[in-house]
Chain A
Amino acid sequence: MIKRSFIGLTKPILKYEALDVKTPEPTIIQEPKKVSLLIDRTYGFKDTILLKSGDTVKTGQKLSVSENSDAYVISTVTGKISSIETLAGDYGKTFTSVSIEVDENEEIDDQFKTLAAEPTLDSADNFLSGVPGKPSFKIFSDPEKPINTIIVNGVDRDLLVGTNQYVIKSDIDAVKNGVRILKKITGIDNILIAVPQNLMQDAIGGGAQVVTVDSEYPATLPAMMMQSILGQILPAGQSCEDMGVCFLSAEAVASIGTAFEEGRIPSTKTVTFINKDGVKSLASAKIGTPVRDIINAFGVTLNEKDRLISGGPMTGATLYSENFPVLADTDAIMIQDRDNIPFISDYPCINCGECVRACPANVPVNMLVRFLEAGQYEEAADQYDLYSCIECGLCSYVCVSKMPVFHYIKLAKYELGRTTSAEATNA
């Protein structure tokens, strides 16, 4: 954990992880006996369920839970479905978890292979939205929000994480193929690759214009990159897609490239593993591998009351079980020892102004948090720029009172989002 420096006059400086000159070799995590794949649960209670326990699935087979839902997952292994359960995620999201017992004799489903020769947006949308990096193809077919720029993210969103940088360094050819295919299937020519300064040379082989991103947190968050790369300021409350800009991670682009080039759907995810003492290593694991397998592979013991995090230290999400699988967008797995967990407090804001100085979006956090604490979310949004927040978490990081500021902000956005959608339904 990076502590406050002795000289506290300046803003905190948090540098992103810079990958070594030598490309690190990821530890290969053995294929597990059982994988679980998560599907967004979007179907209704009356829908017929297409999967059942005992079904056999092939590697690369498309699994959907219901005919009425277009959510699907691509099986990363061959085997027999052992159970189907519902899992709860953050902010009331639910998943259907499909567990598959792995069969040693792998069989490949060749439905995608026949389509791969002629890449189209449809086949990408139908088979590749669950590849490592989790690209979204829906946004390219939304007529209301035409996309005109794609930014390939060769930088990682959070501190300590090196997954996308590793992809740029080790597999730039796949990225190049991905860029070429993306240009073809989306018809968008304006594709940029964003990398940190030290990967400038590596990224040139990607076949797109290379731009560099500052190495200081939070320069790689989408809103910041919009500003530094494109010179566009993201209007409060809008997403980058609304502005016609789409961010795809380098790993996603590389997966698209590999998929169409080789006619098989990639299923191996690169994960940055961050140890209890902050040591980082790379691992590559099949999507669906339980997180426990990665922890065991590095010989780390996870104790009661430790913290298990999917993602980095500033914006990640905690997992409540080590059985949770590696997902298509799990860029990092981080473990915090129970003795190193900083606790939050119920102290009020003392108005010291640290958050105001740290905020990259100029949000008056000191006032905002007073309204959020009182549950006055609408006033917070109207008067104190709730929607300008780019969700970097620096306010909580510097808070002298140890208030869960970022938590309050996310809660307020969630609650306001619920009211708006309820109003829309009732209208």
Chain B
Amino acid sequence: MNSAGPLQRRQRMLNQKKLIVSHAPFWHDGSSITVRSYHTMLAALPAALFGIFTYGMPALGVVSLSISFAIIWELLINKVTQRTVSIGDGNAALIGLLFAMLLPATSPWWMVATGTFVAVVIGKHIYGGIGGNPFNPVLIGVAILMVAWKDYFDFNEALVNYDLKFAMVYPLAAAKHLGTSGIEAFSTAGLLLGQHSGGIGATFGLGLILGGIYLIIRGFIRWEISVSFLAGVFVTALLFHMSDSSLYAGPVFHLLTGYTLIGAFFLATEDSSSPVNFIPMLIYGAGAGVMTVLIRNIGTYVDGVVFAILLMNLINPICDKIRPKALGKVV
């Protein structure tokens, strides 16, 4: 066969325009992890800012420190493990922000540093970084702190020096120890508008709901998880309330206090540790909701959101096996 010699062919290739060759598809919808992280932070901002205005400089300190530390830990672990620097995707900053929102405004600096270390390094990077974590990193951080330094997480004790224009008793603690009589001071409107004590970014119900709705509409979180989580809390609390209304608080109270709302919209919906199929999402969300109220009403902890979601993170991989049959699959 008379074909062009290799030299000749190479010469011709050198003179050619070099085009980008790659595999289909050639379009992308423009979404990215960075956009996702920053919009989630944006949605969390109203509640976080409200907390900062309520608790002043100490709260601002905790939030800033937490975000900075989360980013620093991520950068350090990137360097130590010699992987690409991943702080640009905004996930570390998001972990830092959400972590701070769960803390009392008076948390000492070393607690913030330890908590973010646990969240970013032990919660996320040990499993291979973003997407590999079986548990919500923020909740791992908080859970370790709650077990290690219980007193700092007692909101009544932590916020004892604050005298704001509302009852400074932590609503869930009051409900647990005093029953329904202890929570008469809290109106639904007051709880929605943040007239109660708690974590920096966890008290402003309205802000969290608006942020959550924004995330749902933009498709950054999966509505099935949030809705079923809230439904789980509501139904279980309602059943308890119906069985003994003097001992157990009503469902609306449970929805608006503690970490319920931030849990429903920002924590339970963490991508890697939650299911993606429809039925599993409902099971996961509802399960976490039911567990939350069970821990609050029967368990020893005042708030159950942290452990309830961590527990459901555990069943996520098995749960997510319930899925629609693939096209043409012969079983």
In the complex, whether A1 has a CB less than 8 A from a CB of chain B is yes
Known: A234-B327, A237-B328. 15 other contacts (CB 8 A): A4-B30, A6-B218, A10-B219, A304-B17, A316-B26, A347-B33, A351-B276, A362-B323, A363-B327, A364-B323, A396-B24, A396-B28, A397-B29, A400-B36, A406-B24
Contact between B29 and A388, CB atoms less than 8 A apart: no
In the complex, whether B132 has a CB less than 8 A from a CB of chain A is yes
- Residues of the A chain whose Cβ atoms lie less than 8 Å from the Cβ of B130: 347-348, 350
In the complex, whether B271 has a CB less than 8 A from a CB of chain A is yes
Q: How large is the interface on A (under 10, 10 to 19, 20 to 34, 35 or more residues)?
A: 35 or more
In the complex, whether B300 has a CB less than 8 A from a CB of chain A is no
Q: Mark A344-364, 1 if CB is under 8 A from B, else 0.
A: 101111111110110011111
A309 to chain B, nearest CB (A): 6
Contact between A385 and B22, CB atoms less than 8 A apart: no
In the complex, whether A235 has a CB less than 8 A from a CB of chain B is yes
**What is the CA–CA distance of A356 and B325 in the complex, to the nearest angstrom?**
12
**What is the CA–CA distance of A236 and B326 in the complex, to the nearest angstrom?**
8
A296 to chain B, nearest CB (A): 13
Q: Mark B304-320, 1 if CB is under 8 A from A, else 0.
A: 00000000000000001
Which one of B17, B18, B23, B323 lies within 8 Å of A406 (CB-CB)?
B23
Give the interface of B toward A (CB within 8 A).
1-4, 16-33, 36, 84, 89, 128-132, 216-220, 222-223, 271-272, 274, 276-277, 320, 323-330
Contact between A233 and B25, CB atoms less than 8 A apart: no
Query: Can you identify 16 A-B contacts, CB atoms within 8 angstroms?
Result: A1-B27, A4-B29, A9-B219, A85-B4, A302-B19, A304-B19, A305-B20, A306-B17, A307-B26, A318-B20, A318-B21, A341-B20, A348-B132, A363-B327, A399-B31, A402-B28
Q: Of residues B29, B89, B128, which shows the largest number of chain A Cβ atoms within 10 Å of its Cβ? A: B29
B113 to chain A, nearest CB (A): 26
Contact between A342 and B328, CB atoms less than 8 A apart: no
A233 to chain B, nearest CB (A): 5
A277 to chain B, nearest CB (A): 14
Which one of A9, A10, A302, A402 lies within 8 Å of B32 (CB-CB)?
A402
A218 to chain B, nearest CB (A): 11
Using known A-B contacts A306-B20, A366-B276, determine if residue A3 contacts B328 with beta carbons closer than 8 Å.
Answer: no
- Residues of the B chain whose Cβ atoms lie less than 8 Å from the Cβ of A317: 24
Contact between A307 and B20, CB atoms less than 8 A apart: yes
Contact between B277 and A349, CB atoms less than 8 A apart: no
- Residues of the A chain whose Cβ atoms lie less than 8 Å from the Cβ of B217: 7-9
- Within A302-356, which residues are at the interface with B (CB < 8 Å)? 302-309, 311, 313-323, 334, 336, 338, 341-342, 344, 346-354, 356
- Residues of the A chain whose Cβ atoms lie less than 8 Å from the Cβ of B328: 223, 233-238, 361, 387-388
In the complex, whether A136 has a CB less than 8 A from a CB of chain B is no
- Residues of the B chain whose Cβ atoms lie less than 8 Å from the Cβ of A406: 23-25
Which one of A85, A351, A357, A388 lies within 8 Å of B327 (CB-CB)?
A388
**What is the CA–CA distance of A8 and B40 in the complex, to the nearest angstrom?**
14
**What is the CA–CA distance of A316 and B26 in the complex, to the nearest angstrom?**
8
- Residues of the B chain whose Cβ atoms lie less than 8 Å from the Cβ of A154: none
Contact between B24 and A315, CB atoms less than 8 A apart: yes
Using known A-B contacts A307-B20, A350-B130, A350-B271, determine if residue A334 contacts B26 with beta carbons closer than 8 Å.
Answer: yes
- Residues of the B chain whose Cβ atoms lie less than 8 Å from the Cβ of A322: 17, 19
**What is the CA–CA distance of A238 and B128 in the complex, to the nearest angstrom?**
37
- Residues of the B chain whose Cβ atoms lie less than 8 Å from the Cβ of A376: none
Contact between B20 and A351, CB atoms less than 8 A apart: no
Using CB atoms, name the residue of chain A closest to B128: A348
B219 to chain A, nearest CB (A): 3
**What is the CA–CA distance of A399 and B32 in the complex, to the nearest angstrom?**
8
**What is the CA–CA distance of A352 and B22 in the complex, to the nearest angstrom?**
25
Using CB atoms, name the residue of chain B closest to A338: B20
- Within A109-133, which residues are at the interface with B (CB < 8 Å)? none
B29 to chain A, nearest CB (A): 4
**What is the CA–CA distance of A30 and B4 in the complex, to the nearest angstrom?**
27
**What is the CA–CA distance of A131 and B276 in the complex, to the nearest angstrom?**
46
- Residues of the A chain whose Cβ atoms lie less than 8 Å from the Cβ of B36: 352, 400
B224 to chain A, nearest CB (A): 10
**What is the CA–CA distance of A399 and B219 in the complex, to the nearest angstrom?**
13
- Within A257-289, which residues are at the interface with B (CB < 8 Å)? none
Contact between B327 and A400, CB atoms less than 8 A apart: no
Which one of A303, A314, A354 lies within 8 Å of B17 (CB-CB)?
A303
- Residues of the B chain whose Cβ atoms lie less than 8 Å from the Cβ of A2: 27, 29
Using known A-B contacts A347-B130, A388-B329, determine if residue A305 contacts B19 with beta carbons closer than 8 Å.
Answer: yes
Contact between A362 and B218, CB atoms less than 8 A apart: no
Using known A-B contacts A53-B2, A236-B329, determine if residue A351 contacts B27 with beta carbons closer than 8 Å.
Answer: no
